[in-house]
Chain A
């Protein structure tokens, strides 16, 4: 216990340097900004910033920045949901249901406050749980061999079912696409050129940054742009409006004592629901936020208010989405398995710095892990201070014209890839991937599995072939060790889990109940 307390204190020591504090502040500010803006979110933002991280000498700073963006995105999304009824992120769809109704009835300030404070409370609980889980996982690291890393990659692929949205077919097709992109270039073990289609510039492979920027930035910008002219008018509720005031003169209080009494249990329940769902491959923050909403509706003493602006319906889901963010970091840092699109992009950042996410990270780069965890505590406090007092500024952000916003995203996407390589061909490849991303969004092909395939495909391949070569071609190497077998069984379980209801139904001789459990982006 003392070792771990000392590590955490060291982490705080490192994060309290002016440079890291500034990066944390920049991260949470930027994150809130993109969270507030509908249509763009933390995944797109981190993808755009990936090329810049090549200029960071120290990965710690980059991860402090990214974690801040991720957490800030979760906070910012609630603002748009409540004031505009347009959720900035999928994670804040549930918040919009009651939040916008509260705002329409003159309770915007109370809705914003319960969201912000709930996020803070749940975020802190989530980070504490992450802190407690970190050390035990680190102890596992020393036991890993090549075949275990292969099995771990397989487990990550199996957990792709978490990222697939509504259709397994489309999810796995996305993964296959990612695996193929990952194969392009020179084979690491034999030096053969693969799938380059005669283009010399593809010899070095397609960098993950090109794929991430293309799919998340250009693809998203094209997708939003295509629908821009057919978009309806949006009506924003200003929390400083006359209608939002008590008795006409003073702005209404943020939270009354009654609001707090009705909010604190949903905050805690939201945290309890959000964290495990973030940590398990269940598709990010969407499932837990809706689960929290349903729970609060069932438990509330004011059920008649639901649909008309019940504060519990804002407090619970907002707490759940922030706790799920900390939960997401558990499999990401400990196993290198992303359970949300943003986490998949952060995995790409690890690759840029040649860090092997997974158990080794905690032994080889424990300073990075603890500084990152410490920065989460600091960022959470910053977010609370940034959010409520500065709400008028965040509202102003919504006035940025969309045309300029999307044009700007495309400028930065081009700049990022060009500044990396100085090559027009690579920018062209990035645009082409962007067009693919555009069509994937139109037909609901999930994006995150592509990223996963590009990153983990080569890792899996090299470890698989290494393990085989080391064993002289004997495939039993994959079932010899308990750890490998455990990981592969977990992968099998992750594959079968979505079908559990219908399998159980069949075993009991009943007709198919509800088909597979649906997780993910579109649910």
Chain B
């Protein structure tokens, strides 16, 4: 059996990189430069070189999905795709954003406990009680240790933890 191949993912990744390179190139032309302009020792040179490099390489990368295709990459991408359960990273990202949104209003300890429980659940944990306890312990211990011993300011929320 020959392993399956997938080109869609690599092509989207190549296009994303290309877009990034073009965006960086446009941003490079907007760098204000009073006198040096495009002088070699000016502030534009390195971003110019780097963004052109990225554009050229992402085009080369895209070409290799069509001409002299990089079969090993397509097989790797297909193997990755087969093992991927897409909702999981999506839910984890959503949990991360929720964590950030809650951090200041709810305080570090509570936000951490909630995030930990929710993420463990999203990753397939079937023991919610254990996760809740672990989350609360993690949140309060970290909060205490960091504010007390390391002098880091963490958001305390309405109840002081």
- A-side residues, CB < 8 A to B, are 52, 55, 166-167, 169-170, 172-173, 175-177, 179-180, 183, 187, 189-190, 192-195, 197, 218, 221-222, 225-231, 401-404, 406-408, 410-411, 414-415, 418-419, 422, 424, 427-428, 431, 435, 438-439, 442-445, 453, 457, 460-461, 464-465, 468-469, 473, 475, 522
Contact = CB atoms under 8 A, between A and B. Distances in A.
B28 interface: yes
Given A408-B116, A424-B100, A443-B13, A190 B89 contact: no
B124 A229 contact: yes
A407 B120 contact: yes
Task: For the complex of A and B, list the 3 residue pairs with the smallest distance between their C-beta atoms, beginning with the closest.
Answer: A179-B50, A403-B123, A407-B119
B61 A444 contact: no
B126 to A, nearest CB: 9
Contacts of B124: 228-229, 403
Nearest to A428: B100
B106 interface: no
B55 to A, nearest CB: 9
Given A180-B54, A411-B142, A473-B40, A173 B61 contact: yes
B150 A52 contact: yes
Contacts, number: 194
8 contacts: A179-B46, A194-B27, A227-B84, A404-B131, A414-B100, A442-B77, A443-B77, A465-B42
B43, B49, B53, B76: most-surrounded residue (chain A CB, <10 A) = B43
Contacts of A169: 57, 60-61, 64
Given A176-B54, A411-B112, A192 B33 contact: yes
Contacts of B5: none
A172 B49 CA distance: 13
Given A194-B31, A407-B119, A415-B146, A230 B58 contact: no
Contacts of B61: 169-170, 173
Contacts of B36: 190
Given A169-B57, A222-B93, A407-B116, A230 B85 contact: yes
Given A173-B17, A192-B32, A225 B88 contact: yes
A190 B138 contact: no
Interface string B58-76: 1011001000001011001
Range of interface residues on B (Cβ < 8 Å): 35 or more
Output the residue of A222, A410, A443 with the most chain B CB within 10 A.
Answer: A443
Contacts of B42: 190, 465
B59 to A, nearest CB: 10
Contacts of A192: 31-33, 43
B83 A176 contact: no
Residue of B64, B99, B123 with highest tally of chain A CB at under 10 A: B123
Contacts of A404: 116, 120, 125, 131, 134
A422 B96 contact: no
A464 to B, nearest CB: 8
A419 B154 contact: yes
Contacts of A522: 76
B47 interface: yes
Contacts of B57: 169-170, 172-173, 176
B77 A228 contact: no
Given A173-B54, A190-B33, A410-B115, 8 more contacts: A175-B53, A179-B46, A192-B32, A407-B120, A418-B154, A439-B16, A442-B80, A465-B45
A190 to B, nearest CB: 5
Contacts of B16: 439
A392 to B, nearest CB: 23
Contacts of B115: 407, 410-411
B150 A406 contact: no
Contact of B43 (A173, A190, A406, A453): A190
Nearest to B57: A173
Nearest to B64: A169
B20 interface: yes
A239 to B, nearest CB: 28
